[in-house]
Homo-oligomer: A and B are copies of this chain.
Amino acid sequence: MALAITGARLNGEQVCLRTADGLIEELGAGVEPRADDDRIDATGLALIPGLVNAHTHAAMTLFRGYADDLPLMEWLEQHIWPAERRLEADDVYWGTRLACLEMARAGTIRFWDMYWKQAATARAVKDAGMRAIVGAPLIDGKDPDQAPRLLAKARRTIEEIEEAGQGAVRPALAPHAIYTVSEPSLRGIAEISAERDVPVEIHLSETEQEVTDCIAETGLRPAQYLDRTGLLGPRTVLAHCVWLDQAEIELIVERGATMVTNPVANLKLAVGGVFPYAAARAAGAEIALGTDGAGSNNSLDMLDDVKAFALIQKHVAADPAAVTAAEAWEIATGQRAELVGGGPLAAGAPADFALARLDAPSLALGELDAGLVYAADASAIRMTVVAGRVVYRQGDRAELDEVLAHAREQAARLGLVRS
**Residues in chain A within 8 A of chain B (CB atoms):** 61-66, 68-72, 75, 98, 101-102, 105, 264, 266-270, 272, 274, 294, 297-299, 301, 304, 307-308, 310-312, 314-315, 317-325, 359, 361-362, 364-368, 370-371, 374-375, 377-379, 397, 400-401, 404, 407-408, 411, 416, 418-419
Contact = CB atoms under 8 A, between A and B. Distances in A.
A115 B323 CA distance: 28
Contact of A68 (B105, B359, B367): B367
Given A314-B270, A407-B364, A377 B375 contact: no
Contacts of A365: 61-62, 64-66, 407-408, 411, 416, 418
B320 A269 contact: yes
A145 to B, nearest CB: 35
A304 B301 contact: no
A323 to B, nearest CB: 7
Nearest to A274: B315
A63 B274 CA distance: 30
A311 B308 contact: yes
19 contacts: A63-B366, A64-B370, A65-B366, A65-B374, A66-B366, A68-B367, A69-B320, A69-B324, A101-B361, A264-B311, A266-B315, A270-B317, A270-B320, A294-B375, A298-B371, A304-B304, A312-B315, A367-B419, A377-B379
A240 to B, nearest CB: 14
Contacts of A69: 320-321, 323-325, 370
Which 5 residue pairs spanning A and B have beta carbons closest together? A65-B366, A65-B370, A267-B311, A377-B377, A298-B374
A325 B69 CA distance: 7
